[in-house]
Amino acid sequence: MRIALLSNPTSGRGRHAAADDIALRVLTEAGHEVLHVRGSSYEQTRRAGRTLLGDGPHRNIEALVVVGGDGMVHLGVDIVATTGVPLGIVATGTGNDIARHFNLPSRDAEASARLINQA
């Protein structure tokens, strides 16, 4: 599967900055092709995500995975809303309200990536 991985290393006040590397490793080891974008700002990450799922050469993205807090989840929902592309969540934020609502792992990148791999 070809996965776009968008991350915000400052999520959770930066305490989980390596979570995207963990998710990348788990998904790659599972045989997925992963395109990783580590955003330096919300807007830059949003543009990159929309480009990856747009009509360009990367349109064959089969899933979007976001690594970060509730803001990154909202960004991911915004990007995939009209595409039919599934969204995976690696919750590393301070609150992780959305992950908690869906009973997803919180601040455990490895468990989150394994769960995404099983979907």
| Domain hosting residue 77, numbered range | 2-118
Tally of domains within the chain:
1
Rg (CA), the chain: 13
CATH no. for residue 32? Answer: 3.40.50.10330
Torsional sign, CA 31, 29, 91, 71:
negative
pLDDT digits (tens, 9 = 90+) for 79-98: 999 888 999 999 988 889 99
pTM: 0.90
The runs of H, that is alpha helices, within 4-103 are 19-29, 42-52, 70-80, 97-101
For the chain of 119 residues, list the mean pLDDT of each consecutive stretch of 10: 88 73 97 91 86 71 94 94 93 91 93 93
